[in-house]
């Protein structure tokens, strides 16, 4: 073998080895790339799967908690909350045992109550709204209801049918038809302003829901509660309120008695003598911006709300709700002889009843007017909350005395809080 042949053979062997090593390296890199890509993709896929499953679970849970119409609840507990035994709390659990959706503190429940048949078809079912009086709970809701007697100056009038039904007929184990929590009067939880709660009488119930929710969630917002009653016998959950004020330094309790019992001592049993009014708020609160929540009888509402506005407080910081038929009526335009004369020319037609009647300018709302003319209307709260008196408008327009809580369908109106703007035809 010549030297040239040997050199060529050695060179060939070396070249072959290099080729083999190159191919091996290539396949190793390709394998490693595949493994690396798979391992990187797996966590992303797992994360996506977990997120999808979580979103699906949340959606499923949300759908399961929501309900439309009326749902059956059972009364699991009832207890009186005041010394006069005129206010009773009812704890309600869903009969189907499913969890309850949260609500916005300050909202209410709507009840459909069966009444004895007294020969009047419109009286067989009574719809009433009552504020939730506690913070949201997954197992039960609580409402605290005051028994409403006949007016002291009109003993010929019947007592409140809804409240007396609860006090006399509803016991532990009773079943009630309940609509889901609703209402536009509620705590604005995303805000950070100090909170001023102003309650008169049974108007304390939504304030209890707001107060308990803020404290239980550990909110650091300063909270003032001005609670007005006649005397100590009317205070709801006084010991609990005092305990909360003792436990939480940022909660300031102010009990106001307009007619305290002679045995009740100022500074010991209560904090202020007299009604809750604007001068008391000015003297007590420091300068600054607050969120005001007001709920109480008509006289208090008509004093406090315009009084706060008169101090220059932004209307966006004043939230209010009247209870029962004591609605806070807007007085944007004062009545004049001309406006009264114009109203007297308005004609209201009730198409189903076949009646056409001149509008009574003294009527506070269309519901009162219809009832005074013997036109039967199904109604409930009489304050724009439950939506029971919602009626189709066939022609004409209405104007509202206050902002409604109930959602109004297009082409309809809530008779309990509106008046006609001219000739009006209703499907009644």
Gap between the Cα atoms of 86 and 166, Å rounded: 11
Locate the DSSP E strands across 165-317.
175-182, 195-200, 223-229, 251-257, 272-273, 291-296
Task: Kindly list the structural domains of the chain, giving each domain's residue range(s) and its CATH number in brackets, ordered by start.
Answer: 70-182 (2.40.30.10), 195-322 (3.40.50.80), 337-426 (3.10.20.30)
Q: Is the pTM of this model over 0.95?
A: no
Distance CA 194, CA 191 (A): 9
Contact 375, 356 (CB under 8 A): no
d(CA 147, CA 168): 9
**In tens digits, what is the pLDDT along the chain, a chain of 428 residues?**
565 565 566 666 566 665 655 554 555 554 444 434 334 433 433 333 333 333 333 333 333 465 888 999 999 999 999 988 999 999 999 999 988 999 999 999 999 998 766 554 445 678 889 999 999 999 999 999 999 887 776 666 677 888 999 999 999 999 999 999 988 899 998 888 999 999 999 999 999 999 999 999 999 999 999 999 999 999 999 999 999 999 999 999 999 999 999 999 999 999 999 999 999 999 999 889 999 999 998 889 999 999 999 999 999 999 998 654 444 544 444 555 555 566 668 999 999 989 999 999 889 899 999 988 989 888 877 778 788 899 999 999 999 988 787 778 999 999 999 999 999 999 99
């Amino acid at each position: 073998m010549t030297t040239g042949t040997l050199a060529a053979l050695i060179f060939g062997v070396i070249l072959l080895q290099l080729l083999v090593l190159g191919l091996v390296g290539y396949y190793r890199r390709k394998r490693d790339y595949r493994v690396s890509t798979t391992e990187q993709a797996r966590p992303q896929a797992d994360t996506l799967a977990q997120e999808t499953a979580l979103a699906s679970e949340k959606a499923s849970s949300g759908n399961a908690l929501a309900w439309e119409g009326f749902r059956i609840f059972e009364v699991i507990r009832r207890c009186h909350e005041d010394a006069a035994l005129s206010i009773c709390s009812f704890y309600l659990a869903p009969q189907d045992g499913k969890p309850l959706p949260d609500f916005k503190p300050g909202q209410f429940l709507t009840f459909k109550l069966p009444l004895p048949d007294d020969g009047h078809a419109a009286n067989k079912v009574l719809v009433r709204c009552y504020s939730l009086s506690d913070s949201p709970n997954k197992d039960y809701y609580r409402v605290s209801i005051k028994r409403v007697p006949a007016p002291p100056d009109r003993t010929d009038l019947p007592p409140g049918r809804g409240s007396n039904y609860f006090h006399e007929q509803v016991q532990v184990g009773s079943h009630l038809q309940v609509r889901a929590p609703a209402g536009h009067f509620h705590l604005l939880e995303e805000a950070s302003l100090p909170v001023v709660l102003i309650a008169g009488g049974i108007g304390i119930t939504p304030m209890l829901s707001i107060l308990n929710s803020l404290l239980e969630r550990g909110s650091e917002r300063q909270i003032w509660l001005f609670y007005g009653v006649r005397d100590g016998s009317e205070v709801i959950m006084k010991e609990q309120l005092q305990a909360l004020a003792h436990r939480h330094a940022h909660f300031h309790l102010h009990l106001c008695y307009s007619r305290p019992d002679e045995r009740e001592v100022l500074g010991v049993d209560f904090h202020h003598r007299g009604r809750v009014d604007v001068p008391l708020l000015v003297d007590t609160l420091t300068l600054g911006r607050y969120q005001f929540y007001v709920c109480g009888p008509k006289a208090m509402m008509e004093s406090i709300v315009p009084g706060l506005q008169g101090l220059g407080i932004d209307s966006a910081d004043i939230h209010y709700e009247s209870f029962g038929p004591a609605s806070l009526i807007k007085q944007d335009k004062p009545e004049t002889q001309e406006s009264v004369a114009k109203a007297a020319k308005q004609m209201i037609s009730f198409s189903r009843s076949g009646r056409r009647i001149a509008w009574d300018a003294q009527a506070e709302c269309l519901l009162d007017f219809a009832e005074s003319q013997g036109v039967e209307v199904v109604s409930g709260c009489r304050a724009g909350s439950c939506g029971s008196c919602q009626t189709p408008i066939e022609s004409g327009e209405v104007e509202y005395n206050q902002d409604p809580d109930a959602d109004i369908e297009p082409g309809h109106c809530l008779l309990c809080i509106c008046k006609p703007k001219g000739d009006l035809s209703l499907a009644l």
